[in-house]
Structure 1
Amino acid sequence: MKNLPTCSLVTPTYNWPQALELLLLSILKQSVLPNEVIIADDGSREETRQLIEKFQKNFPVPLIHIWHEDNGNQKPKIMNKAIAKAKYDYIVEIDGDIIMHKDFVKDHLTYAQKGFYLFGSRVNIQANILDKIFKNKIIHFNYFSEGIKKRGRTLYFPFLMNFSKTHHERSEKLRGCNMSFWREDFIKVNGFNENLVGWGIDDSEMIQRLHNIGIHGKRLKFAGLAYHIYHKEQSKSHIEINNLIEKETTEKKITTIDKGINQYL
């Protein structure tokens, strides 16, 4: 195995400690641990803080809680604040409603490469088994598990990554719940765009700026497996505004923004 980069695992969360608990339990089962875990908390209530403090007592790596007041969906801002505090070279980003395969972190670090970012897919855990997984704290899934969708994405054959193609343009399959990038590249494009409003587009707009400075993508397929816990969709009332910002970033090849991670470095 090659020398793996040091990494910070960063995850946003908001008022869903049941899902966050399963995520943290899946971190404890990783074959390769991140060097630190940073929870980017977009204003959760006391229950989330108590859960994190409980895990901090015996967590094998630093578990850092970055919180700001709840003022609507401010995911770009809290993620910028969290990554500004990150101490390590490589950022693995997942959502707070993800349960990771035991080799998730290992796969992201194994295939990390200068000049590239990585993005993976997700298996959907359906609503009808949520009570069961939360009650029994289930964090292991496979092709035959009940209550999952997109079963083909459970298949684990990482050697096939030897044949993965370079994405010179941003893929429509990009999902912020499963991606990774070099912290120095993130800082070059000034991180997430805090002018984006509400849900959506923040990850893909940032990735577009990475492409605009010459960074390319590789898709983790049959590796970097992630299981997404079902939840109702958030409001998309501002998605048209965000789409226009992303369109401008793409067409004008914008590489940086005025309101990003620079505010916290």
Structure 2
Amino acid sequence: MKASVIMSTYNSEEWLEKVIWGFSVQTELDFEIIIADDGSGPKTKELLDKMRAEISMPLQHVWQEDNGFQKTQILNKAIIASKSDYLIFTDGDCIPRKDFVETHLHFRESGYFLSGGYFKLPMNISQAISKNDIISQKCFDIKWLVGMGLPSKNKLKLTASGFLAKFLNFITPTKASWNGHNASTWKSELLYVNGFNQEMQYGGEDRELGERLFNKGLKSKQIRYSAICVHLDHARGYVNEEMWKKNASIRENTRKNKVVKTLTGINSN
């Protein structure tokens, strides 16, 4: 397979189903989907068992018991389970445009990781999007979104293409960091740095991985206006200040001491 798409989830079957439908209609279909499940209940497994019969690509379910926010641990387990040498990361609340996988494969390059973004949708539109809206790609159509109540501003991320998208990727002030909802690189690079730091919970854990990839010598490539996904709205009950402070301290150490390999990563599994 050309790629493994790894997406995180936790008790969010309605959003996850929409995301999987988005991957089912990709222009490039030679990839597997790996659901990195941080302790969901049985409804997620039931959904995935049903969807395996409805999509064409392999679908793996990598699950661990619920022990609070342990996304870094389940992502490392998903990396181990992946069967491709190129890994694309996203989240179970981000519906990909039909060229999402093709775009990541087009821009991949030895010595680089790719950095994309997302387009945030409000809750009412997130809930209204149907399977047919995803298959027909209406959910990426600005006129349709505005008709559904989307405020009419900041739409270049959905409308730019060709030279304009490349130009915007070049001039955007947004740093090409590792963004867990839209990033990719070679599996060998992630194994070298020992994957995600499992000491970290929510808040900068994705960026810290990217910082260690930089310390190894990788460069990043901006694909913010090329690899498009829409983000479905949700609450963030797992956020707390202590996590942020701890993660900020780990990131500071990673940058200051040029850490490449985390001590608590893939090999912990």
Structure 1 and Structure 2 fold alike (TM over 0.5): yes
1:29 aligns with 2:19: no
Shift in CA distance, 182/161, structure 1 to aligned 2, threshold 3 Å? farther
Contact 2:166 2:225 in 1 (8 A): no
Aligned positions of 1:106-145 closer than 5 A: 106-133=102-129, 138-139=133-134, 140=137, 141-144=140-143, 145=145
Aligned pair 1:224/2:227, yes or no? yes
Partner residue, 1:77: 73
Indicate conservation of the 8 Å contact 1:43/1:68, yes or no.
yes
1:112–1:118 Cα contact (<8 Å) kept: yes
Report the number of matched residues. Answer: 256
1:37/1:62 contact within 8 Å kept: yes
Q: CA deviation at 1:159?
A: 4.2
Distance 1:174 1:7 in 2: 18
* CA apart distance, 1:247: 1.0
User: Aligned partners of 1:255, 1:10: CA distance in 2, in Å?
Assistant: 22
On the 8 A contact 2:77/2:266 being kept in 1, the answer is yes
**Other-structure match for 2:259:** 254
SS in 2 for 1:59: coil
Shift of 1:221: 3.4
CA distance in 1, matches of 2:45, 2:157: 33
Contact 1:20-1:96 at 8 Å conserved across structures: yes
Query: In the alignment, which residue of structure 2 is the partner of 1:187?
Result: 191
Partner of 1:47: 43
Quickly say closer, same or farther: Cα 1:251–1:165, change in 2 above 3 A.
Answer: farther
| Alignment partner, residue 13 of structure 1 | 9
Contact 1:66 1:78 in 2 (8 A): yes
Query: For 1:232, what is the secondary structure of its paired residue?
Result: coil
Once the 2 structures are TM-superposed, how far is the Cα of residue 199 of structure 1 from its aligned partner?
1.2
Shift of 1:226: 0.8
Contact 1:98–1:177 (CA<8 Å) still a contact in 2?
yes
Contact 1:89 1:182 in 2 (8 A): yes
Q: Contact 1:123 / 1:228 at 8 angstroms: preserved in 2? A: yes
The sequence identity of aligned pairs, in percent, is 33
| Residues 133 and 161 of structure 1: CA distance in aligned 2, closer, same or farther (over 3 Å) | closer
1:18-74 C-alpha deviation (Å, 9 max, x unpaired): 000000000111000242110000000111110000011232121000001000000
How big is the alpha-carbon RMSD for the aligned residues of Structure 1 and Structure 2? Answer: 2.2
Q: Is the 2:120–2:230 contact (alpha carbons within 8 Å) kept by the matching residues of 1?
A: yes
CA distance in 1, matches of 2:21, 2:150: 19
Report SS of the residue matched to 1:60.
Answer: coil
8 Å CA contact 1:8, 1:34 repeated in 2: no
Secondary structure, in 3 states, of the residue corresponding to 2:110?
coil
Separation in structure 1 between the aligned mates of residue 141 and residue 114 of structure 2, nearest angstrom: 23
Q: What is the aligned partner in structure 1 of residue 175 from structure 2?
A: 171
Going by fraction, where is helix more abundant, 1 or 2? 2
Instruction: Return the letter of the residue paired with 2:229.
Output: A
Partners of 2:150 and 2:89 in 1: CA distance? 22
Q: Give the structure-1-normalised TM-score.
A: 0.90
SS in 1 for 2:260: coil
Superposition TM-score, scaled by structure 2 size: 0.88
Q: Distance in 1 between matches of 2:176 and 2:240?
A: 18
Q: Secondary structure at the match of 1:128?
A: helix
Q: Which runs of 5+ in 1 are unaligned?
A: none
